Amino acid sequence: MGCAIFLLQNIRFFLTMPKIDYFENSGITVEGAKWKDINIIKKMFKSWNEGRNLGTCKTIYLMLFSKKVCIVAKRDHLLIGYILFYVNRRDIQDGTVHEAFIVVSEKERGRGIGTFLRERSGIHFNKCDISGISSRIHEGNTASMASAEKVGFEAKESIFDPREQKEQIYLVWRF
């Protein structure tokens, strides 16, 4: 999908959606990403994604809609994880949003941050009359798969990712 089509599709979908609410629990805060978070999000993405950049198109998208489409977790005001959402044609047809990237800082992994982000995302999008969240997780990523299944994602099909040369599991969490 070309950048212009991606941006137009997502602008149309998210334009009237409310921003992600602030929430705090046990010293962890979650909220929609702010402008000052974008560079940290990009650095975390690059570190998590084998040196690949987020890309111009997704960066523009994040700059336009950060508070609506990117939920961040912070501890002591430091960003420790995030999920970036968008929609594609399949999501629009199914009434879902797509969990594109979920990244948790290395020192925070295994502490339930990813699950907490997913839970809060579900609460937000359910309030926005979205029927669910879709995701694709590499078969070998057992931690992310366990977190997704814990909140209610169900595996629907296996998809081969030609860019990564790996199988991915397509999952959907219906509210």
Q: Work out the percent of the chain whose per-residue pLDDT is above 90.
A: 93
8 A C-beta contact, residue 70 and residue 59: no
Domain housing 91: 3-174
Residues with Cβ < 8 Å from 175, sequence gap 6 or more? Answer: 122, 125, 126, 130, 131, 132
Task: Give the CATH number for residue 26.
Answer: 3.40.630.30
pLDDT of residue 131: 97
53-109 pLDDT tens trace: 999 999 999 999 999 999 999 999 999 999 999 999 999 999 999 999 999 999 999
Q: Total structural domains in the chain?
A: 1
This prediction's pTM = 0.93
